[in-house]
Structures are given as structure tokens and as C-alpha cells.
Structure 1
Amino acid sequence: MSVTLSGIVGCTTNSGEPTRDRTSASASHPSTPASIRQVDANGKRLPFNTVFPDRWSNLNDGSSYEPCTALSGEELEALGLNQRSATDGANANMQTSRGCDWRYRDSNTAILSQGVGNDLPLEDYKNKYSTAIEWQYDTSIQGRSVAVGYPRHQDACTTAVQSGSAIVTTTAILFINPPPRDQVCAKAIAFTKATIDKMPP
């Protein structure tokens, strides 16, 4: 399952597995990566070849923020992530969530995911997804309100922050022997802190 909050709500698979096979998606689409946009709004190259011509769409264009290019390889490594593990958060063309998944260096079953999708303002967003997320508290990061919650039925923690007319979600999920939830939340919050200044208000 895609582990961004937008992915949980709008772009899920039901396998629950930490790995994804993109082969079928690529084979079923006639376009080739060379003919598909591969750069963010600032011209920075994605860390993979996307096979989806509508990866950027009117479902996720409320913010120009691009999770996959927000941090350098060194910054990802400093957060404990394997910079070479980046994969597209999308499982199909024109999904609501546009973002990336990374694996932690010390565990192949621990993933950090960040996605951006157009949605309601943060407080309304929280109400909308209250059945999917057990919201715990709001915190402030660089003067911006950030919601923190637990996706139901997962050993995970999610943050959500507004950027333009989109919501950026960051989810840390551990599939095997997860630590206490506050430690999982610390991972999601750390990544949010590292990237929030790159998200337009």
C-alpha cells in the first residue's frame, strides 16, 4: 500500500507489502519514460524514471512542491534514509498523491513516504479523514500548523501540512517489530521539519 496519507486515502493497494512491482504498470502504458516529463517545476530531475504521463495533474497541482527532489542525497542519508531507494509513490496514472517512498538504511521493512495532493484546508482535511487517521495533536513547525496522527490498523505515523491548495503528508511506517509509536512519529516529524521550508505556504 502506498504509505503517504493521500495514498492511504486515495491511492492504495491492499497488499500491505513494503515492496512494489512497477513492471506491469510500465508495460501497460504505451508511453516511454523518454517522452514523459521527468523534472519538477524547477527543472530538477526526478530520482527515477516515471512511466506516468499524468504524474503531475489537476489532482495534485495545488502546490509546486515536489517531495522526490526536495532533499539532497546527503540530507536523505542524514535522516537515516537510503537515497538510492527512492521510488515513485504512484501506482497508476493520474493519482491523487504525487510523491516518493524511501527505505531506511537500517531496515528494508521501514519506509518513509511523502506525498502531495489537492484537498481541503488542514482542519477540514482532518475532519474528512478522521475515520482513516487517529489524529493525536497539532504542532507548529517554522510557524506552520502540522497535524500528527496514526493511520488506523498500521504501525505508522503521519504528519499533514497545508501547501497552497494541497496537503503534504509524511508517513513513517514500520512493517516488522515497530518501536513505540512516539518513535515512529519522531521519524515522520523529522522529515517534515527537513522539508517544510521548501513547501510554498
Structure 2
Amino acid sequence: MGEYTGRIEIARPPAEVFAFLADVHNMPHYLPTVTHVGPLGHHGDHDDVAVEGEAGGHAYRNDGWMKAEPEARRMSWGSHVLPDYHGMLEVTNAPSGCTVELRLSLTPKPEVAERLQREHGTVDHGMRLAVERTLGSIKACCEQGGMDPGGRDAPRSADDLPDSRPFGSSATLNPDI
């Protein structure tokens, strides 16, 4: 299993950024392969979610879980189908706003590992680039019109959010990895 981490500073208040990221309905705006995320219910300390999208020309659906801890500004998630896949995101204070740190644990499928090796030299390098693209996408959504200008902890409507797809494929919810 590979462990991949990254961090990025965002010029927005930490509570505002966390509220945006923890709302499952916003995920398609910063995760390029995701087209729809919907809640499936609350179970114990987490929410079950259904993630739908397209990756590598193939549609997918993956049921998983997500746990948001607003007081710690931390979010964790995983898949019910892929037991070795899970991640965590944490939003902390920074002088210019906040820092978002992303930690991802997964083992890419053999065909994906082969493609990453071919395209990026190593699987680890390809995965690090995917994490960086995901963080860049989050930054773009938060700083370029994806947050409420009034400072409230709520995103604007989906029509007002920038499309993250120019940042490439996402490692964080892509079931093909």
C-alpha cells in the first residue's frame, strides 16, 4: 500500500474552507473524475456516501464512507469496496488563511500502476502528481469564486463554482487507482 501526502496554502479562512470541503455535494467541483456524490445514510460516527463518475473513459459507482470532524477541521473517508483505500484531509490555520493537508493510502490497480509507471517514470511520482493536482483544484475552487463572498461557511451555487477538470485526474476518489 502506498502512502501519499501533500499540502497547500489557501487564502481563505479555515472554517470556510473546511465547510466547503466537508459538504459532499461540492466534491464534483474539486475532484475531476467525480460527477455526483450523494449521502446514503448515517452509521455510527460516519456517513455512507455513493460516488459516481468517469475515469479513463469508464463510468463508475463506489459506495464508501466519510467522517467530518468540524471542531478539528478534519475529514476522513474510505471505500466499502476497496479495503486498502482511505484518506484524510485536515485544514489548519496559516498566516495567509489556511493550509490543507491531504493524506491518501491506497494500492493502485495493476493496470493503473503500469500506466503511472509508463507516463511518470514511477508509480510514486504519478501518485504525488495526482495529489498535487487535487490540492491545486481545491485551491482554485476556494480562491477563484468557489466560496461565499460574504464570509459565511457555505459554498455558492454549483453554477458559480470553477470547473476543476483542467487540473487532471484525481487520486482521492478515483476507483481506477
**TM range, smaller chain:** 0.3 to 0.5
